[in-house]
Amino acid sequence: MNPASPFAPTRRRVLLGAGAGLVAPGIMAVPLPAAAQAPAGAVIDVMRARTDPIPVAVPDLAGTGEAARVGRDIARVVQANLRNSGLFRPVDRAAFIQTAESAAQTPRFQDWRLIGAQALVTGRVLEQGGGLRVEFRLWDVLPETQLQGTAFSAPAANWRRIAHLISDVIYERLLGEKGYFDTRVVYVSETGPRDRRTRRLAIMDQDGENHRYLTDGRFSALTPRFHPSADRIAFMSYQDRGQPRVVLFDIGSGRQQVLGNFPGMTLSPRFAPDGNAVVLSAMRGGDANIYVVDLGSRSERQLTSGGGLDVSPCFSPDGTQVVFNSDRGGDQQLYVMSASGGSPRRISFGNGRYATPVWSPRGDLIAFTRFGRGGFAIGVMRPDGSGERILSEGWAMEGPTFAPNGRVLMFHRETRATDSRGGGYSARIVSIDIAGFNERPVPTPTDATDPAWSPLLS
């Protein structure tokens, strides 16, 4: 008799994985059959995985010639993704008993149980008319059942996207929630002395790979934010006679367009959840107020008034509310108001000033930067202001952004540099679980600030 599975249903049934069809540009996915298929609801609780990460074995995907090299690369990306989430513990490859080729044919489950694996990833890479066919299976080792089987067909250049898609399937199949690996991060690349920084937009995969620059640095760029379709960015730029303006940037074509016809500075833009509008802050006179700009008609609707500086607005995921920070009460705090207007209500009451609020895609939390005499902190609270928790503290940190599943944050952290790079300080992007554990750096080739996480690309 096979042992019971650790992935017994604990919360809800999940229909997941890539079904037949197009899952990403140029990538087709079809399900693979299995003799023993586990029920769709087999998951392990995320809270349990935080304290006891899931032991998963990820051998190389089998193949011959060039396909074997791709299979090794895909397996290593999948293993790194799972390890970096903090919720999985990849089994040491030196302990593997069965070969990758043999496991791709028929897993010997006793070999994998012997080394402590609870989940097993097997597969094969085949060269197919100039492209790749990547067959992937996820197994529950104890009851010896297949949890997921998918075959991806794609151009060879898309092998890394396939690795991220496989990682997302594993995450969702075992944890019951969407993954976040097939995503990108846009950020501000900073070089040069601190008083003369060159700030360029840059984009990369969530693991720091496939890095490229979007702007050339002739004009400073700040606070980039993704469109819900992930194909456009809104950011603040000093292109117009040194005056800050909100600019829309098309990632595919590189085309840029100034948004709106505001007489003063415009800053801190974010797209509405439906992608049809941008919420931003605009300076008129000595005050800054929140406006919503329709991307079709370019009409402007003012949300706040009454004096003071209202900045850093962000829509709730359902588009019905806006959170922002303001000094209207004499100190910089967080406020929430209806997206249709009305009286803002203060939600932050901790010890310090609050800034850069961002709503979780799940709608359950608002992340923020808090600063005061004790330094800086990144934290989260519920939308009504209750349940405030500090996740990380330090000398200088700012700009939280949520992964699309709401389980992980990125932000940038500054440290005093020990070398001459950056004129005495260094700024780096880090990620952290919303429970406050698994803080880790995200690699970038230069100093990096203002990260923004894309929605899932697939």
DSSP notation for 392-458? EEESEEEEEEE-TTSSEEEEEEEEE-SSSGGGSEEEEEEEEETTS---EEE--SSEEEEEEEPPP--
Whether residue 169 contacts residue 17, with contact meaning beta carbons closer than 8 Å, is answered with yes
Tell me which amino acid residue 285 is: G
> Residue 62 carries which DSSP code?
B
End-to-end CA distance of the chain: 39
DSSP three-state, residue 312:
strand
- Spatial neighbors of 94 by CB under 8 A, at least 6 apart, are none
Query: Bridge-partner residues for 132, per DSSP?
Result: 127, 154
For residue 290, give both structure tokens. Answer: 């929140």
For residue 244, give both structure tokens. Answer: 């800050």
CB-based burial, 386-397: b 16+ in 10 Å, e otherwise: eebeebbeeeeb
What's the pLDDT at 109? 98
> Quick count: other Cβ atoms within 10 Å of Cβ 239?
17
Dist. CA 275–CA 231, nearest whole Å: 11
Whether residue 175 contacts residue 155, with contact meaning beta carbons closer than 8 Å, is answered with no
Whether residue 214 contacts residue 251, with contact meaning beta carbons closer than 8 Å, is answered with yes
Per-position DSSP letters for 344-373, written without gaps between them: -EE---SSSEEEEEEE-TTSS-EEEEEEET
Whether residue 57 contacts residue 189, with contact meaning beta carbons closer than 8 Å, is answered with no
What's the pLDDT at 380? 98
3-state secondary structure 161-212: HHHHHHHHHHHHHHHCCCCCCCCEEEEEEEECCHHHCEEEEEEEECCCCCCE
Dist. CA 12–CA 312, nearest whole Å: 36
**Cα–chain center distance at 227:** 14
Whether residue 78 contacts residue 58, with contact meaning beta carbons closer than 8 Å, is answered with yes
Whether residue 44 contacts residue 184, with contact meaning beta carbons closer than 8 Å, is answered with no
> Residue 37 carries which DSSP code?
B
Identify the structural domains of the chain with CATH numbers, from first to last.
21-175 (3.40.50.10070), 184-453 (2.120.10.30)
What's the pLDDT at 385? 97
Q: In what order do the strands lie in the sheet with 408-416?
A: 396-402, 408-416, 425-433, 440-442
Dist. CA 248–CA 371, nearest whole Å: 30
Largest CA distance in the chain: 77
CB-based burial, 433-454: b 16+ in 10 Å, e otherwise: bbbeeebeebebebbbbbbbbb
What's the pLDDT at 3? 64
Tell me which amino acid residue 305 is: S
Residues 327, 330, 331: CA angle, nearest 5 degrees:
60
Dist. CA 346–CA 335, nearest whole Å: 4
Could you read off the pLDDT tens digit of each residue along the chain, which spans 458 residues? 466 777 765 443 333 444 457 677 788 889 888 766 666 655 788 889 999 999 999 999 999 999 999 999 999 999 999 999 999 999 999 999 999 999 999 999 999 999 999 999 999 999 988 899 999 999 999 999 999 999 999 999 999 999 999 999 999 999 999 999 999 999 999 998 888 889 999 999 999 999 999 999 989 999 999 999 999 999 999 876 667 889 999 999 999 998 876 777 888 999 999 999 999 999 888 899 999 999 999 999 999 997 889 999 999 999 999 999 999 989 999 999 999 999 999 999 999 999 999 999 999 999 999 998 789 999 999 999 999 999 999 989 999 999 999 999 999 999 876 554 445 679 999 999 999 999 999 999 999 999 999 999 97
- Residue 265 backbone dihedrals phi, psi, to 5 degrees: -70, 145
> Quick count: other Cβ atoms within 10 Å of Cβ 33?
7
DSSP three-state, residue 391:
strand
- Residue 9 backbone dihedrals phi, psi, to 5 degrees: -55, 125
- Residue 26 backbone dihedrals phi, psi, to 5 degrees: 85, 0
Residue showing tokens 């833009």: 269
Residue showing tokens 């310090």: 352
